[in-house]
Amino acid sequence: MSTYQVGYFVGSLSSTSINRTLSTALIAVSPPDLEFTEIPIGNLPLYSPDFDADYPAGPRALKEAIAASSAVLFVTPEYNRSIPGALKNAIDWASRPWGQNSFNHLPAAVIGASPGQIGTALAQQSLRAVLSFCNARQMTSPEAYVRLAPGAITDDGDVTDESMKQFLTDFMQEFRDHVERVLTVLPRD
């Protein structure tokens, strides 16, 4: 069985992140032909075009990790109705230097959790606009706005709510199919 390498971004730097917990749950319910590697964003400097001629080690590693991925998955909170700054900074690094956009034609999906009613909908809308400009091949359906009630996912990523578990399982199956669909039409180098 061939596998797809999925690089995943957690948009939160919090040590108690519910989105990190969600990422653990997503990996646990994923089809077996997806393999996951986190692409860390917490120690990147702030992007400046001054670095374009000579990227520092951290941002270079970021671009290498994306290049080694068949697809990327974003699991992110909503900050002030938009994308957390650390995640946007990582995307900006990966999108440059001009002509070397790491997301070009890369299969991608977006999901996020919040304790609030709208479950990161506006952050995801912002993120989708950014990924669209970056020419990522986004999964557009299903959308996944996860409102996390306390205890719905344990710290180990075990989903205690059965309907949520089924929803997340279906989401990851659809993501797997999306990756296959995109890469079957035209494989990346």
Ligand X SMILES: Cc1cc2nc3c(=O)[nH]c(=O)nc-3n(C[C@H](O)[C@H](O)[C@H](O)COP(=O)(O)O)c2cc1C
List of residues contacting ligand X (CB under 6 A): 12, 14, 17-19, 77-81, 114-116
- Whose Cβ is closer to ligand X: residue 49's or residue 115's? 115
Helix locations, 13-120, DSSP H: 18-28, 57-67, 85-95
- Whose Cβ is closer to ligand X: residue 44's or residue 111's? 111
CB of 54 to ligand X, least distance (A): 32
- Whose Cβ is closer to ligand X: residue 4's or residue 171's? 171
Query: Of 35, 26, 36, which is closest to residue 2 (Cα–Cα)?
Result: 35
CB of 115 to ligand X, least distance (A): 6
Element (H or E) spanning 7, and its range? Answer: strand 4-10
CB of 125 to ligand X, least distance (A): 12
Structure tokens given for 187: 């494989």
Q: Measured in Å, how far apart are the chain's first and last C-alpha atoms?
A: 20
CB of 9 to ligand X, least distance (A): 12
- Whose Cβ is closer to ligand X: residue 10's or residue 65's? 10
CB of 79 to ligand X, least distance (A): 4
- Whose Cβ is closer to ligand X: residue 88's or residue 96's? 88
- Whose Cβ is closer to ligand X: residue 56's or residue 115's? 115
Q: Do 172 and 29 form a contact (C-beta atoms < 8 A)?
A: yes
Residue 93's CB is within 10 A of a number of other CB atoms, namely 25
Contacts of 11 (CB under 8 A, 6+ apart): 19, 41, 74, 75, 76, 77, 83, 84, 86, 87, 112, 123
CB of 18 to ligand X, least distance (A): 4
- Give the separation between CA 96 and CA 77, rounded to whole angstroms: 24
